[in-house]
């Protein structure tokens, strides 16, 4: 791994107010002492089931949720844990995000061109330059420049996800948080989007924090991975090491639960699984 | 291989155009808008339009009805009512506009900030709103008018302030809904200022409710304005306002009733117009939210005439009479602008008793519709337009609603992707389960309760008594799916249709549910049809599988054969798309392009536009399902050989 990490998260905790009425006033710890680091050009997969806190980690790096005391997030040598709003806005050009739901991630009342060009216009880029950069970024995600004049309603889920990726890339960020970017997509569309993300990573030397519940996708797409459970990292390491030689029981249980697309192998695993899993929940 | 990504042609127009067009669909709303614009124009151009000076008296013609020289008659001093109405409109409409402007200027920012920022801002705003709502409006207004003398502007601005809390509440509610949209998060991540996000992203999304609220409030404001005028506040005689015109007329109502009509009718019509306009705007903005509806209409609009000869005999796998379910040449369509659009075309499949069969494909391929058709649960206006569905020899497509109901539950049951949604939130699990059990078997209350507990225990729920007392929202996703399975099993069905039964669940829970289904299937001997997009699920539980693409079964095979050697390029392509089967560091052998919409399927092979090995004859005629080996069939003219690789690794 290169010496200087792009992102270092140390002892991250995030707490929310409990939504359960009987436990009003109590705090619920969504992320609990998570530390991780990400090198330039590297993809780190965060995998876990619902409620494991994986998305909250992404939101904390993006400054969308408040972090608990003692948490430290360092990006490119700068402590951004409590970055003031102005500094945070400036980071928008370097840390970007692609969300899961391609339907609610684009404002339906703004054209694609308005959505993509907005951060440029807001930082004083002129109209003509904005238009040409919008066209550039659209071609990067394999869409024609004339989609800029259209509204999100006219696009399919896969096309919207391309547009969301274009929005993330328009200011040439160094780090992109991918929060379940393909979970809402069909298998064949997922394959296209994964290929696109791999090509973009290679061309622009991007770092990805890849958040997913799908272990197969994480294995295929990431260099390293961290397995999360109840807000804690259970196991972390190179993808091959974690998948081939899991050390923790939870990782083993998770891996055993993923059905493989091979009936013979699946039958074998089903039989061995019953020895791994102790009772049902 | 790069392919062009073209947006759908039936475009949704920009909102403004859509609003004007939707107003056309509300003739009353359009009429109301027209009337209000007319009144406003009359007030502005009163100097030009009014035939007389509004204060000029003509005592010879006092208290007259409509005449040639006084179109709307005159009052007690012989002043022309039309002229007074026009000049009076200035006073009344200006007052209304001041009140509305104040409501917007005060209420909208408070609501936006409270909704968007939340926290202490929201709490402070909430306190102010509550206090203002507790102020008795009319009393407050009278006090203000008394203090400020006859300054009507002050009174109307005060009215606006008093109305602001209502507006703020509406805006706050809509803002909270919009605030959680991902595009707002994305805008924040992009480094846009809060002000920019509020003005450019949130405000346009909440403008509908604002306009509706403002329009309705304008009616109230006009009523209050004329009421104050009637009471002698505001414009003082001899200057006219609509309110003091009514007051004048009321003194002579016994001898000259007509005098009340012009002012009274104008006030009533204006208030009615504000209300109607508000309704029309609300309806049109609500219509905009109904995205799904638009999609359906779009499908219908795109439809072509059905192919002239769809009835080429589907490869009749020898009609194996012991199959429990036999679907033969099933075609399902939606009515379209021109004829009908098929959404399932010529589907033939069968399930033997005790067999577990998979139906796999991507969204829009028709797999869920096939499941719905088997249950006789096609949503209106979708209908079976061809073929048969034989369950135990009986054609389901020919059954009436009552017979279908008897069949469902007792013979064929369904579990769906959203177990919580399939349970009624207002009844306990026990209540619902016992109700279903009672329908299928007679018994005393105690026997039924015991059977319900036994069923819940059967689906591996640990504390069945506690679950019986729970409401659906108290269950986790996995527990709810177990309850749904228990309810499906209550009638001891012979066929269970499981439509994406584990898609919404975590993998560990999925593994348990699949294990449960497998055990129950073995114990009860029922047949199971699993509809899924997930190859892993198919590999885990199914013996045979059907692959669907664009409304057709493109391949059918025992799962071992299907995974080892898919013979249809689509099956092979879809299997290749699985990241779990790919080498890391490589690209996925993806299928380029998109699934065609129903109604725009190609004439020949439906997959041909995306197929790397398609030849000319693939696009010419419909392709039949051809048997390639025993029990293995492929709807392809050039079925793949085992291990043939046809997809390149650079489609993206």
Torsions phi, psi for B350 (to 5 deg): -150, 155
Question: DSSP 3-state assignment of B495?
Answer: strand
B158 and B92 in a common domain: yes
Task: Report residue A72's pLDDT band, with 50, 70 and 90 as the boundaries.
Answer: very high
CA-based nearest residue to B498, from B479, B477, B513, B519: B513
Q: Which of A143, A188, A242, A279 to mutate to test the interface with B (most CBs of B within 10 A)?
A: A188
Question: DSSP 3-state assignment of B253?
Answer: coil
Mean residue pLDDT of chain A comes to 89
Q: Please state whether beta strands B552-558 and B544-549 pair in parallel, antiparallel, or not at all (unpaired).
A: antiparallel
* Within a domain: B160: yes
End-of-domain residue from the set B458, B474, B492 = B492
CB contact at 8 A, B416 and B483: no
With 80 as the cut, is the pLDDT of residue A266 above it? yes
pLDDT of residue A21: 57
With 90 as the cut, is the pLDDT of residue B233 above it? no
Task: Report residue B279's pLDDT band, with 50, 70 and 90 as the boundaries.
Answer: confident
Find, in chain B, the residue whose alpha carbon is nearest to that of A221: B584
* Within a domain: B21: no
pLDDT of residue B377: 87
B206 and B152 in a common domain: yes
- Joined tokens for residue A67: 């972090």
Model pLDDT for residues A30-57, shown as the tens digit of each residue: 999 999 999 999 999 999 998 899 999 9
Mean pLDDT of the region B595-607: 88
Task: Report residue B57's pLDDT band, with 50, 70 and 90 as the boundaries.
Answer: confident
**CATH code where residue B130 lies:** 1.10.3720.10
B197 and B74 in a common domain: yes
B425 and B571 in a common domain: no
Burial label for B428, CB within 10 Å (0-12, 13-18, 19+), is: middle
Q: How close A3 gets to chain B, by Cα (Å)?
A: 22
- CA B369 to chain centroid: 19
pLDDT of residue B605: 93
Model pLDDT for residues A16-30, shown as the tens digit of each residue: 876 665 656 678 889
* Within a domain: B125: yes
**CATH code where residue B362 lies:** 3.40.50.300
Q: How close A64 gets to chain B, by Cα (Å)?
A: 8
Q: Which of A191, A192, A262, A279 to mutate to test the interface with B (most CBs of B within 10 A)?
A: A191
B503 and B487 in a common domain: no
pLDDT of residue B355: 93
Task: Report residue B23's pLDDT band, with 50, 70 and 90 as the boundaries.
Answer: low
Mean pLDDT of the region B526-548: 94
Domain holding B470, by residue range, is 420-492
Mean pLDDT of the region A118-143: 92
End-of-domain residue from the set B492, B509, B537 = B492
Model pLDDT for residues B261-277, shown as the tens digit of each residue: 999 999 999 999 999 98
B475 and B380 in a common domain: no
* Within a domain: B201: yes
From residue A101, alpha-carbon distances to A179, A243, B610 in Å are: 9, 28, 26
**Count: domains in chain B:** 3
Q: How close B508 gets to chain A, by Cα (Å)?
A: 5
| Interface touch B590/A192, C-beta < 8 Å | yes
* Within a domain: B457: yes
Name the least confident of B25-39, B299-313, B536-550, B605-619.
Answer: B299-313
* Within a domain: B120: yes
Residues of A (255-274) whose Cβ lies below 8 Å from B: 256-264, 266, 270, 273
Say whether residue A158 is in contact with chain B using an 8 A CB cutoff: yes
Contacts of A262 in chain B (CB under 8 A): 539, 563
B344 and B278 in a common domain: no
Contacts of A119 in chain B (CB under 8 A): 190-192
B170 and B67 in a common domain: yes
Is the ipTM, as predicted for this complex, more than 0.90?
Answer: no
B569 and B480 in a common domain: no
B525 and B432 in a common domain: no
The Cβ-side half-sphere exposure at B101, using a 13 Å CA radius, reads 10
SS3 content of chain B, % helix, strand, coil (to 5): 55, 10, 35
Task: Report residue B317's pLDDT band, with 50, 70 and 90 as the boundaries.
Answer: very low
B367 and B259 in a common domain: no
| Interface touch A107/B508, C-beta < 8 Å | no
B169 and B58 in a common domain: yes
Q: Which of B4, B477, B507 to mutate to test the interface with A (most CBs of A within 10 A)?
A: B507
Q: How close A212 gets to chain B, by Cα (Å)?
A: 12
Torsions phi, psi for B124 (to 5 deg): -65, -50
End-of-domain residue from the set B265, B287, B309 = B287
* Within a domain: B537: yes
pLDDT of residue B290: 39
With 90 as the cut, is the pLDDT of residue A126 above it? yes
Mean pLDDT of the region B438-456: 88
* Within a domain: B641: yes
Mean pLDDT of the region B220-234: 89
Is the torsion defined by CA of B511, B516, B522, B525 positive or negative?
negative
Question: DSSP 3-state assignment of B410?
Answer: helix
């Amino acid at each position: 791994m290169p010496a200087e990490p792009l992102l270092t998260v140390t002892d991250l905790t995030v707490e929310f107010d409990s939504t359960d009425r009987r436990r009003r006033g109590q705090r619920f710890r969504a992320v609990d002492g998570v530390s991780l680091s990400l090198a330039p050009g590297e993809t780190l997969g965060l995998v876990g089931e619902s409620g494991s806190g994986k998305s909250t980690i992404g939101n904390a790096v993006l400054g969308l949720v408040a972090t608990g005391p003692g948490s430290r997030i360092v990006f490119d040598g700068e402590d951004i844990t409590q970055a003031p709003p102005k500094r945070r806005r400036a980071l928008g050009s370097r840390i970007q995000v692609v969300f899961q739901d391609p339907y609610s991630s684009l404002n339906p009342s703004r054209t694609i061109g308005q959505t993509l060009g907005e951060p440029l216009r807001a930082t004083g880029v002129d109209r003509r330059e904005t238009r040409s950069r919008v066209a550039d970024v659209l071609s990067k995600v394999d869409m024609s420049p004339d989609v800029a004049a259209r509204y999100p309603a006219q696009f399919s889920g896969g096309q919207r996800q391309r547009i969301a990726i274009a929005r993330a890339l328009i200011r040439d960020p160094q780090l992109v948080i991918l929060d379940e970017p393909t979970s809402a997509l069909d298998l064949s569309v997922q394959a296209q989007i994964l290929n696109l993300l791999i090509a973009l990573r290679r061309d622009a030397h991007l770092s990805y924090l890849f958040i997913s519940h799908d272990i197969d996708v994480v294995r295929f797409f990431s260099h390293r991975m961290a397995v999360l459970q109840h807000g804690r990292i259970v196991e972390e390491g190179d993808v091959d090491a974690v998948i081939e030689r899991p050390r923790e029981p939870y990782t083993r249980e998770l891996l055993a639960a993923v059905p493989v697309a091979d009936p013979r192998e699946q039958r074998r695993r089903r039989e061995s699984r019953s020895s791994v899993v102790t009772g049902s929940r | 291989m790069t392919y062009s990504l073209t947006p759908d042609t039936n475009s949704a127009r920009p909102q403004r155009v859509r609003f004007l067009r939707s107003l056309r669909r509300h003739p009353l709303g359009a009429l109301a808008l027209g009337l209000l614009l007319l009144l406003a124009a009359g007030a502005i151009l009163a100097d030009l339009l009014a035939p007389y000076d509004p204060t000029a008296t003509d005592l010879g013609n006092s208290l007259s009805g409509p005449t040639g020289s006084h179109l709307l008659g005159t009052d007690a001093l012989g002043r022309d009512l039309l002229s007074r109405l026009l000049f009076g409109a200035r006073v009344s409409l200006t007052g209304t506009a001041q009140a509305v402007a104040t409501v917007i200027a005060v209420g909208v920012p408070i609501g936006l900030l409270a909704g968007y920022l939340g926290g202490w801002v929201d709490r402070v705003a909430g306190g102010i709103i509550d206090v203002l709502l507790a102020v008795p409006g009319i009393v407050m207004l009278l006090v203000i008018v008394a203090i400020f003398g006859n300054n009507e502007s002050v009174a109307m601005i005060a009215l606006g302030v008093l109305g602001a809390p209502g507006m703020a509440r509406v805006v706050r509610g809509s803002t909270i809904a919009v605030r959680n949209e991902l595009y707002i998060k994305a805008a924040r991540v992009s480094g846009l200022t809060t002000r920019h996000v509020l003005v450019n992203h949130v405000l346009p999304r909440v403008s509908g409710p604002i306009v509706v609220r403002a329009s309705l409030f304008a009616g109230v404001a006009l009523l209050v304005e004329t009421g104050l005028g009637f009471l002698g506040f505001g414009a003082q005689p001899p200057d006219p306002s609509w309110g003091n015109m009514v007051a004048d007329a009321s003194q002579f109502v016994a001898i000259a009733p007509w005098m009340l009509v012009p002012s009274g009718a104008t006030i009533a019509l204006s208030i009615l117009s504000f209300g109607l306009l508000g309704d029309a705007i609300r309806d049109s903005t609500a219509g905009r939210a109904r995205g799904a509806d638009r999609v359906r209409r779009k499908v219908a609009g795109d439809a072509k005439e059905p192919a002239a000869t769809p009835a080429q005999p589907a490869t009749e796998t020898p009609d194996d009479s012991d199959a429990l379910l036999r679907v033969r040449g099933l075609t399902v369509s939606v009515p379209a602008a021109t004829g009908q659009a098929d959404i399932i075309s010529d589907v033939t499949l069968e399930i033997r008793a005790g067999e577990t069969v998979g139906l796999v494909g991507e969204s829009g391929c028709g797999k869920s519709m096939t499941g719905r058709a088997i249950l006789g649960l096609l949503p209106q206006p979708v209908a079976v337009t061809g073929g048969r569905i034989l369950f135990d020899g009986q054609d389901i497509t020919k059954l009436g609603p009552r017979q279908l109901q008897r069949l469902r539950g007792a013979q064929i049951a369904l579990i769906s992707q959203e177990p919580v949604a399939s349970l009624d939130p207002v009844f306990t699990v026990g209540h619902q389960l016992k109700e279903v059990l009672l329908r299928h078997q007679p018994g005393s209350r105690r026997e039924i309760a015991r059977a319900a507990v036994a069923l819940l225990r059967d689906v591996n729920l640990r504390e069945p008594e506690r679950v019986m007392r729970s409401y659906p929202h108290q269950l986790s996703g996995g527990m709810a799916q177990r309850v749904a399975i228990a309810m499906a099993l209550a009638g001891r069905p012979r066929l269970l249709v499981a439509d994406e039964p584990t898609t919404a669940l975590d993998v560990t829970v999925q593994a348990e549910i699949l294990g449960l289904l497998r055990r129950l299937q073995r114990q009860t001997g029922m047949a199971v049809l699993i509809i899924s997009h997930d190859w892993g699920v198919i590999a885990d539980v199914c013996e045979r599988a059907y692959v669907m693409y664009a409304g057709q079964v493109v391949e059918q095979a025992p799962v071992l054969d299907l995974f080892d050697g898919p013979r249809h390029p689509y099956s092979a392509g879809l299997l290749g798309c699985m990241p779990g089967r790919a080498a890391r560091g490589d690209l996925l052998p993806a299928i380029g392009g998109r699934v065609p919409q129903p109604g725009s399927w190609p004439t020949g092979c439906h997959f041909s536009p995306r197929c790397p090995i398609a030849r000319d004859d693939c696009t010419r005629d419909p392709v039949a399902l051809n048997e390639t080996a025993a029990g293995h069939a492929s709807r392809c003219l050039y079925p793949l050989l085992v291990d043939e690789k046809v997809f390149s690794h650079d489609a993206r």
